Amino acid sequence: MTLLDIINNSRSIVFFGGAGVSTESGIPDFRSADGLYRQKYSVPPEVMLSASYFYAHTEDFFRFYREKMLPLDAEPNAAHIRLAQWERAGKLLAVVTQNIDGLHQAAGSKRVYELHGSIHRNHCLSCGKSYPAHFIAESKGIPRCACGGIVKPDVVLYEEPLDQKTIEGAIQAIASADTLIVAGTSLSVYPAASFVDYFRGDNLVLINRDPTPLDEKCTFVSHGKVGEVLGALPSYSSEEEDPS
């Protein structure tokens, strides 16, 4: 069966994505050869993105975070756009993403489960006041609230738990899908990678440049670029075709 056949016959698709969904928007992923975790730092990025490092070396955390984790000029690519169209056309139930860049919502997706939070949500640790991403981007040193408290991004750092409601929503969506598309993820971080196990539907589709532990269990595997693969599929929407 071709991917087009699978998508044509699907009524409740769920998309489970990772950093590879945003590389065609110019945001490097983590574990590819040119990924963030391959770049040389005195302290490994996985350590700098941990809760203990945040609290012990707050200023250094924000220096790295501002430099590497705030791609505020990135635009949604063909993958993000297609998924939002499929949702509007009633073919896609939800997007479950490990990404924190907000590009699915920027493309128009409504039901997005952000397992690792979002750079667009930041709050004061003392009074809870919310701040947008550009407040962090434009801050110097440690971003401070008007009350003097530290403003912390609502992204799941290593050692931190995922949001329970988000987990429940994501698992529920995956469990009710007839087709699950897993894309742009090495499936190497838990618990996110385990959510795929809740899938009970007919078609498990994988679109990933490098091999993953899931490859042999899939109905369909493509090692193409997810933006190109999804961009080549119909939008199923009545709207005029997007110019891209």
Question: Which residues participate in catalysis according to the annotation?
Answer: 116
| DSSP character at residue 50 | B
Taking the least distance from each CB to Zn ion, the nearer of 140 and 223 is: 140
Considering only 11, 38, 129, 200, the residue that binds Zn ion (CB under 5 A) is: 129
Q: Is 35 in the site for ligand APR (CB under 6 A)?
A: yes
CA distance 240 to 91: 17
Q: SS3 for 32?
A: coil
Strands 151-155 and 117-124: antiparallel
Q: Is 126 in the site for Zn ion (CB under 5 A)?
A: yes
Mark the segment that binds Zn ion (CB under 5 A) among 119-127, 153-161, 169-177, 198-206. 119-127
Considering only 24, 87, 101, 114, the residue that binds ligand APR (CB under 6 A) is: 24
Q: Is 127 in the site for Zn ion (CB under 5 A)?
A: yes
Per partner kind, with CB cut-offs from 5 to 8 A, the member of ligand APR, Zn ion, none near residue 151 is none
Neighbours of 204 (CB within 10 A): 19
List of residues 6+ apart from 67 with CB closer than 8 A: none
Measure Cα distances from 235 to 36, 109, 211 in Å: 32, 14, 27
Q: Site mask, ligand APR, residues 160-189, x = CB under 6 A?
A: ------------------------xxx-xx
Q: Is 130 in the site for Zn ion (CB under 5 A)?
A: no
Considering only 85, 98, 105, 203, the residue that binds ligand APR (CB under 6 A) is: 98
Least Cβ distance, residue 124 to Zn ion (angstroms)? 3
Task: Write out 140-162 in H/E/C secondary structure.
Answer: CCCCECCCCCEEEEEECCECCCC
Q: Is 230 in the site for Zn ion (CB under 5 A)?
A: no
CA distance 215 to 146: 50
Q: Site mask, Zn ion, residues 133-152, x = CB under 5 A?
A: ------------x-x-x---
Query: Would you say 142 and 55 are in contact if contact means Cβ atoms under 8 Å apart?
Result: no
Estimate to the nearest angstrom the gap between the alpha carbon of 165 and the chain centroid.
Answer: 17
Least Cβ distance, residue 19 to ligand APR (angstroms)? 4
Structure tokens that stand for 173 in this block: 């969506």
Binders of ligand APR: how many residues, by CB under 6 A?
Answer: 24
Which residues contribute to the site for Zn ion (CB under 5 A)?
A: 124, 126-127, 129, 145, 147, 149
